[in-house]
A and B are shown apart, each in its own frame.
Chain A
Amino acid sequence: MAQVNKQISLESASQYFFDGMSLMVGGFGGVGAPPSLINLILDKNIQDIFLISNDTGFPWIGPGKLITEKRVKKLIASHIGSNPEAGEQMQEGTLDVEFVPQGTLAEKIRAGGMGLGGILVDVGLGTVVEANKEKVQVNHKEYMIETALTADVSIVYAKKADPYGNLIYDKSARNTNPLVATAGQITIAEVEEIVPIGSLNPEEIITPGVYVDYIIQSKGVDWKWVWELKQGTGSQEGQRSK
């Protein structure tokens, strides 16, 4: 059987990004977000992104950079509290934000990647989450219908990939990545290390390579974490990588 090699250069990944695209980004508070691909999207001047992400990181961390540079027009997320830029743009009316409870968001993305139309959820009944949701009774319990989410492009960060795109992740940097990896029309994985085919233990692979279209070698995290800034200078303000 011929071997598949999905590795491409960072530069050639740029052909998959376009203005107005829907983009799903893995990560949680920026931990596990793909730094090199996010920088590429900034460098290629991609605009009007419809971003789907657990959160908006921090202004200088992860998908937060896309917000800070005003590349995002619409956002689906569970939380923007650690990124004041997102809050400001939302108040100004330049960023359209839809909040989804975190577990429901994860499951909507998973549904997209598993080929489901949606899921039945009761989290948020009796709150504003209920607004405009279709409801059904199943076994005498009420649920909301939450529709599945997919995106034009999904970008994720993993610890290791083989050339087929099988992925394993790193500790709590796994978070939303395995879900996001399944839900893209095109999925690009940025990885710390590319290892030979057959060297990953099949029992330990988290994302089967069939979900992954392209692999790029990461240049590594280029931002400072909040806790690093607090240790260093006693301040967490204004630190930007670019």
Chain B
Amino acid sequence: MGLGIETRHRIARRAALEIKDGMTVNLGIGIPTLVADYIPKELHIMLHTENGILGMGGSPLEGEEDGNLSNAGGYPVTIQPGASYFDSATAFGIIRKGLLDVTILGALEVSERGDIANWIVPGKRVPGMGGAIDLAQKAKKVIILMNHTDKYGNPKIVKDCSLPLTVKEGAHMIITERAVFQCEKGKLVLKEIMNPYTINEVIETTGAAVVVDEKVSVFQ
């Protein structure tokens, strides 16, 4: 991702504030996985995975891993009381029926209307969409965590996505190392800036029209 570990954790910490008691949540691979560390222990959250677990827990201790109990990225996990295992059809039935309250995903580009591109760079990187289209189209709230700009400094939040879409108008919130935006009725609203960035710095490095919320705040 090119972001320092501290920055990645700050983005994850901010994203965790969107998770409320009683929610069913799917966390993608990368920074989204870190969000689990910042969900307060007293909340009752059911973490869902595409490979067929509802009620996933944290990582096992070294030496206690089970090759047949992993997250969608293939890394060992544990389960919480009340967890269940099911096949892939059910795992995606849960998604498709709209039973996920929140999904947190990475992205390559997001447009000002909330279009998301996160599965293909034609001719360069063609990993496939995996479950990203199902998740981005069907979760009640879709939160994108990503770098504000690409490695060349170009904005990743753009007027129109240049890459093939994962979903049209799917993102509800975008959290980067510089800012927190909400996608509201086709408009990109700047809600928070991340310390030490300024509103102007955020606007200058965003490739889309930004509406600055009148109550814009600073996230430490």
Whether the Cβ atoms of B74 and A82 lie closer than 8 Å is: yes
At the interface with chain A, which of B39-47, B83-91, B190-198?
B83-91
A123-B138, A174-B87 known; A78+B62 contact, CB < 8 A: no
Query: Which of B126-134, B146-154, B201-209, B211-219 participates in binding chain A?
Result: B126-134
Look across to chain B and name the residue whose beta carbon is closest to the beta carbon of A106: B88
Stretch at the interface among B6-14, B159-167, B172-180: B159-167
Contact A126 B165 (CB under 8 A): yes
Of A28-36, A132-140, A194-202, which stretch is located at the interface?
A28-36
Chain A nearest Cβ from B124, distance in angstroms = 9
Flag whether A15 is at the interface (Cβ < 8 A): no
Asked if A102 and B134 sit within 8 Å, CB to CB, the answer is: yes
- Residue in A101, A126, A228 whose Cβ sees the most chain B Cβ within 10 Å: A101
Interface 9-residue window, one of B17-25, B63-71, B101-109, B181-189: B63-71
Query: Is the beta-carbon distance between A172 and B68 smaller than 8 angstroms?
Result: yes
Return chain A residues, CB-CB under 8 Å to B86: 174
CB neighbours (8 Å) of A80 from chain B are 126-128
Given A172-B53, A227-B74: A124 and B87 within 8 A (CB)? no
Please classify the interface of chain B as helix (H, G, I), strand (E, B), loop, or mixed, using the class held by over half of its residues.
loop
Of residues 1 through 45 on chain A, the ones whose CB sits less than 8 Å from some CB of chain B are: 28-32
Q: Which residues of A contact B166 (CB under 8 A)?
A: 127
Q: Which residues of A contact B76 (CB under 8 A)?
A: 227
Cα(A226)–Cα(B95), bound, Å: 27
Contact A174 B75, beta carbon cutoff 8 Å: no
Contacts of A104 in B (CB 8 A): 92, 134
CB proximity of A97 to chain B, nearest CB, Å: 8
Q: Is the CB of A29 within 8 A of B51?
A: yes
CB of A128 within 8 Å of the partner chain: yes
B133: A residues at CB distance < 8 A: 101, 123-124, 127, 129
Rounded to whole angstroms, the CA-CA distance of A206 and B49 in the bound complex is 19
Cβ contact within 8 Å between A170 and B87? no
With A and B bound together, what is the CA distance between A160 and B189 in angstroms? 54
A185 at the binding interface (Cβ < 8 Å): no
- In the complex where A81-B128, A106-B92 touch, is A123 in contact with B87 (Cβ < 8 A)? no
Q: A90-B126, A227-B76 given as contacts; is B68 within 8 A of A28 (CB)?
A: no
Looking at B65, B128, B166, the one whose CB has the most chain A CB atoms below 10 A away is B128
Residue of B nearest to A80 (CB): B128
Asked whether, in the complex, the Cβ of B165 is within 8 Å of the Cβ of A175, the reply is: no
Contact partner of A101 (CB less than 8 A), chosen from B49, B51, B62, B129, is: B129
Give Cα A20 to B159, complex, Å.
Answer: 47
Asked if residues B129 and A227 are in contact (CB atoms below 8 Å), the reply is: no
- Closest chain B residue to A227 by CB distance? B75
Q: Which residues of chain A are near B138, meaning CB under 8 Å?
A: 123
Given A29-B70, A129-B129, 15 additional A-B pairs, CB 8 A? A77-B128, A81-B130, A87-B126, A102-B92, A103-B89, A103-B134, A104-B134, A109-B89, A122-B137, A171-B66, A172-B51, A175-B88, A226-B74, A228-B65, A231-B62
Q: Which 4 A-B pairs have the closest CB atoms?
A: A103-B92, A81-B127, A173-B68, A79-B130
Task: Return 27 A-B CB contacts under 8 Å, by A number.
Answer: A28-B51, A29-B51, A78-B128, A78-B129, A87-B127, A91-B123, A99-B128, A102-B92, A103-B89, A103-B131, A104-B134, A106-B91, A107-B92, A109-B89, A127-B165, A128-B164, A129-B129, A169-B85, A173-B69, A174-B87, A175-B52, A175-B91, A176-B88, A178-B87, A227-B74, A227-B75, A231-B62
Residues of B at the A interface (CB closer than 8 Å) are: 49-53, 62, 65-70, 72-76, 85-89, 91-93, 95-96, 123, 125-134, 137-138, 164-168
A contacts, CB < 8 Å to B: 28-32, 54-55, 58, 77-82, 87, 90-91, 97, 99, 101-104, 106-107, 109-110, 122-124, 126-129, 169-179, 206, 221, 225-228, 231
